[in-house]
Chain A
Amino acid sequence: MFQKLSASISKRALSVYFYFIVFYLIFPILIIFPISLSNNSFLRFPPSNFGIRWYHTFVNDPAWMQATILSFGVAISVSILAAIIGTMAVLALERRNLRFSNLLSYFMSSPLLIPHIFIALGVLIFTISLGIENSIFALIGAHTAIAIPYVVLIVGASHRQLDLTLERAARVLGAGPIRAFFSAAFPSLLPSVVAAAVFAFFVSFDELVIAQFLMSGRETLPMRIWADLRLELRPTIAAVSTLLIILTTVAMFIAELLRRRTASLTNT
């Protein structure tokens, strides 16, 4: 009796602890919403009057808009490139008897373990010695490289659960390797490829330090936010942040659902 009581108390304590930590993780993010709706010129809490003044500033300021467009352009290129190159790598790693395949898997995930500032400095020095500074292609390439591990992990996990019988049947019935893959295996792999593309998009869209080192003259959105945060704390950032928080949450929710759908499709 006593043991049962103490077990239920410790269970209750654990769940209180859990919600406290979730509060610690999420509350600071939520607090940005009301700030973004203030009409005050300076950061203060609680705002003394409300309005969408800072959303107007964001949309009508060419510097913010150009940064947003540049970031979208880079991130979309990165997500397409990383999804294609990463999926190709998964097909080679999972299906072929590659020599050094363990070593190659480690190599594919190496960008996860190296600090971005190290990569940023290296690519900067490399582009300088090649004489191609300030190149947007170097930025897209570097972002694609740091997005590759995510694609390999996500698509690789779903590929391991794939039933390859159908593809083999297509081959036996005379389809070429490419056609057999695209008609039999690819449809069930597609949700995870899309999920991986979403993750790759945000790896690039949120990345600051590589862009900061490589780009001079043109600003990406994180560079614009960084410059603003260092100089002045205007609530424009709260408006931008609110939009980004909503975008990230919605996209991640969809990506998670897609990832899980692949898992449940192949399990049944």
Chain B
Amino acid sequence: MTANRDYGKWLIWPAIILLILFILAPAVEIFRASIFDPEFTTEHINRILERDIYLTILWRTIKVSLIVSILSALIAYPVAYFIVKRPRQQQFAFLFLIFVPMWMNVLIRTYAWMVVLGREGIINSTMIALGLIDESIQMLFTSGAVYVSMIQILLPIQIVTCYSAMTEIDFDLIRAARILGASPAQAMRKVFLPLSLDGTITGMIIVFMLSMGFFITPALVGGPTDLMLGNLIEMQVEQLNWGFAAMIAILLFFSTLIIVLVLRRISKMLTKSLSRGSL
């Protein structure tokens, strides 16, 4: 039998070749296109540094993504806790309520927000019908609309990640803490929170990375000052400026990487100090 363990190794190759062709090689091509055209050039870097607008958009993308990921984590945590405390049979049904929106097309979910927030949308027409306002309020094409829709789109992923981290927790530990005299709040803070924090921050990082690449939602529900790096890349591609688009993509890639590494660091420190009880 042991001699036979070699014969199936080739089964991995189609997947490796596919990912090399469609993920790895294209990533290398982006690096190449950002600095070679066809000779080495600093044209694209200079263009980014020359005008404030590009760094402003980079900074805005980071800010929006951080706010979206932090708010998602805060909103999702109690939701995941609620589901995990239900009996096993019910958990499936509750999770399904989260799964359905998670798998819905992002275009459709963004369209839904255009319907809800628009001039003649549901909120405006309901408030006018109730006599609360006389004229439509501008909600669509604002930063607020971007946050509300992006959080709605990304929240399910955060809930599911939090939930799966919480299912790993041994609830006997909390019972033990209670028996040893901890109040429910203490047991929560000193036992449950440190154990679930790592999974929560993992979810936050996933949401952060996904928001950094967003472009559908800012383009459709945001105003002209809500554009993000993704929109910039799309515009450059439409104008056939592939080299410059590649440089922006590199900017997106490295800024995401650096912030993710910092968040990981913070997560480790927090978990450590929480379980030591110094917080």
Contacts and interface: CB of A to CB of B under 8 A. Distances in A.
B101 A45 contact: no
Interface residues of B, number: 82
A85 B26 contact: no
Contacts of A249: 100
Given A43-B120, A177-B4, A18 B22 contact: no
Contacts of A59: none
A122 B26 contact: yes
B8 A97 contact: no
Interface stretch (A62-70, A183-191, A223-231): A223-231
Contacts of B111: 32, 225, 229, 237-238, 241
Contact of A118 (B104, B105, B213): B213
Given A92-B11, A260-B92, A26 B101 contact: yes
Interface residues of A, number: 84
Given A25-B156, A177-B7, A145 B252 contact: no
B112 A32 contact: yes
Do most interface residues of chain B lie in helix, strand or loop, or is the interface mixed? helix
Contact of B12 (A15, A98, A128): A98
Do most interface residues of chain A lie in helix, strand or loop, or is the interface mixed? helix
A244 B105 contact: yes
Interface of B: 1, 4-12, 14-16, 18-19, 21-23, 25-27, 29-30, 32-33, 75, 78-79, 81-83, 92, 94, 96-101, 103-116, 118, 120-122, 125, 152, 155-156, 184, 206, 209-210, 212-213, 215-216, 219-220, 230, 233-234, 237, 242, 245-246, 249, 252-253, 256
Q: Which 3 residue pairs of A and B lie closest in terms of their CB atoms, listed nearest first?
A: A115-B213, A122-B26, A28-B112
Interface of A: 7, 14-15, 17-18, 21-22, 24-29, 31-32, 35, 42-46, 85-86, 88-89, 91-93, 95-98, 104, 107-108, 110-111, 113-119, 121-126, 128-129, 141-142, 144-145, 148, 152, 168, 171, 177, 202, 206, 208-209, 212-213, 222, 225-226, 229-230, 233, 237-238, 241, 244-245, 248-249, 252-253, 256, 260
